[in-house]
Amino acid sequence: MATDAFNKPEVDMPKQTPEERIRNFFEVAKGYTSEMAVEEAERCLQCKNPQCRKGCPVDIDIPAFIKLIKEGKFVEAAWKIKETNVLPAICGRVCPQENQCQKFCILGIRGDPISIGRLERYAADYERNHGVDIPEISPDTGHKVAVVGAGPAGLTVAAELGKKGHHVEVFEALHVAGGVLMYGIPEFRLPKAIVQAEVQYIEKLGVDIHLDSMVGKLYTVQELFNDGFKAIFIGSGAGLPNFLRLSGENLSGIYSANEFLIRTNLMKAYRFPEYDTPLNIGKSVAVIGGGNVAMDSARCALRLGAEKAYIIYRRGMSELPARHEEVENAEEEGVIFTLLNNPTRFIGDGRGNVKEVELVRMELGEPDDSGRRRPQAVPGSEWKLPVDTVVVAIGQSPNPIIQQTTKGLEVTRHGTIITDEATAATKLEGVYAGGDVATGAATVISAMGAGKTAAASIHEYLNGK
Amino acid sequence: MYRIVKKEEITPNIKMFQVHAPAVAHKAKPGQFVIVRASEAGERIPITIADTDTRAGTVTIYFAEVGKSSTMLGGLEEGENIMNFAGPLGNATEIKKYGKVLCVGGGVFVGALLYMMRALKEAGNEIVAVFGYRNKDHVLLKNELKEVADEAYVCTDDGSYGLKGMNVVDELLEKHGFDHVFAIGPTSLQMNLSEKTRPYGIPTRVNLFPVMVDGMGMCGACRVTVGGDTRFSCVDGPEFDGHQVDFEELIMRMRVYNPQEKIAMVVHGREVA
Q: In terms of domains, do B8 and B62 share one?
A: yes
Q: What is the distance between the alpha carbons of residues B62 and B51, in angstroms, rounded to a whole number?
A: 10
Residue B196 located in a structural domain? no
Please state, in angstroms and as integers, the Cα–Cα distance from residue B24 to each residue in A198, A252, B19, B214, following that order. 29, 33, 10, 17
Looking at the complex, report in whole angstroms how far the Cα of residue A284 sits from the nearest Cα belonging to chain B. Answer: 17
> What CATH class has A243-394?
alpha beta
The answer to whether residue B71 is domain-embedded is yes
> A259 and B220 in contact by Cβ < 8 A?
yes
Residue at which a domain ends, from B58, B89, B120: B89
Q: Give yes or no for residue A1 having a pLDDT over 50.
A: no
Q: Are strands A231-234 and A431-433 parallel, antiparallel or unpaired?
A: parallel
Q: Does B85 touch chain A (CB under 8 A)?
A: yes
Domain stop point among B38, B66, B89:
B89
Within a 10 A sphere around the Cβ of B161, how many other Cβ atoms? Answer: 16
Q: Find chain B residues with C-beta within 8 A of A346's C-beta.
A: none
ipTM of the prediction: 0.92
Q: pTM to 2 decimals?
A: 0.93
Same domain, B99 and B145: yes
**Distance, CA of A452 to CA of A455 (rounded, Å):** 5
Show residues of chain B in contact with A173, CB under 8 Å: 86, 214, 216
- Domain presence at residue B215: yes
Nearest to B252 among A252, A273, A400 (CB): A252
* Position B229 pLDDT exceeds 60: yes
Residue A298 has pLDDT above 60, yes or no: yes
Report the domain count for chain B.
3
pLDDT at A14: 94
Element containing residue A444 per DSSP (H, E): helix A444-463
- Kindly state whether B227 is in contact with chain A, defined as any CB-CB distance less than 8 angstroms: no
pLDDT tens-digit profile of B107-126? Answer: 899 999 999 999 999 999 99
Q: A123 φ, ψ to 5°? A: -60, -45
Q: Which chain B residue's Cα is nearest to A397? A: B218
Contacts of A250 in chain B (CB under 8 A): 223-225, 230, 249, 253
Q: Do A212 and B84 touch (CB under 8 A)?
A: yes
> Is there a contact between B99 and B125 (Cβ–Cβ < 8 Å)?
yes
Q: Is the pLDDT of residue B192 over 90?
A: yes
B49 and B62 together in one domain: yes
Average pLDDT over residues B172-198: 93
pLDDT exceeds cutoff 90 at A3: no
Segments making up each domain of chain A, as ranges: 2-129, 144-239+397-463, 243-394
- Residues of A within 8 A of B72 (CB-CB) are 276
Domain boundary (B35, B68, B89) is at B89
Is B262 a domain residue?
yes
Render pLDDT for A236-292 as a digit per residue (tens, 0 to 9): 999 899 999 999 999 999 999 999 999 999 999 988 888 888 898 999 999 999 999
Which residues from chain B sit within 8 angstroms of residue A277, using beta carbons? 43-44, 213
Architecture of domain A2-129 in CATH?
Answer: Orthogonal Bundle (1.10)
Contact B127, B103 (CB under 8 A): yes
Q: Residues 234 to 253 of A: which have CB under 8 A from any B CB?
A: 239-241, 243, 245, 249-250, 252-253
Residue B200: inside a domain, yes or no? Answer: no
For B270, the domain range is 208-273
pLDDT for the residue numbered A197: 93
Encode pLDDT of A174-201 as tens digits: 999 999 999 999 999 999 999 999 999 9
Q: Could you tell me if residue B61 is inside a domain?
A: yes
Q: Are residues B82 and B105 in the same domain?
A: no
Share of chain B above pLDDT 90, in %: 77
> Inter-chain contact B27–A211, Cβ cutoff 8 Å?
no
CATH number of the domain within which B44 lies: 2.40.30.10
| Architecture in CATH of A144-239+397-463 | 3-Layer(bba) Sandwich (3.50)
**Helix, strand and coil in chain A, % to nearest 5:** 35, 20, 45
